[in-house]
Structure 1
Amino acid sequence: MTVEEIEEFKKTIEQTIVPHALYMNQKQIHSIIEKVPEIDQKFKNMLYEQILVLKQESLNKKQK
């Protein structure tokens, strides 16, 4: 992925997934991702990690 693609990927996650993930724990997020059969395990792992990072960043912004 190019730098631009990575930034777009993160932006999409922030706009579409993080608002829901804020109200979920790590186990719930992981469970949902694992239920999607159309994506491979490496992508699932990357997506899970990005969601957790972006969720934490979002929570930190709200605390300030």
Structure 2
Amino acid sequence: MVGEHARRATNKNMNRAYTLPIPHDRLRLTFCRTIIHMLKMWVETAGAELSLIVFCMYA
């Protein structure tokens, strides 16, 4: 019961933080998410091949 109340309060605070009208922070958050997503995709597809090529070049 106490944990549920604390979690609800935390969710309310987080929602308030997310709905603050600060477009710069939201833009930066979206930008970071996009970069992380692109990095994940790159690692899944061409990251291994590219790192292998770089390793062969510098080895």
Whether TM exceeds 0.5 here: the answer is: no
Flag the structure with larger Rg: 2
TM-score when scaled to structure 2?
A: 0.41
Name the structure, 1 or 2, with higher relative contact order (CA <8 Å, separation 6+).
1
Where is the helix percentage greater, Structure 1 or Structure 2?
2
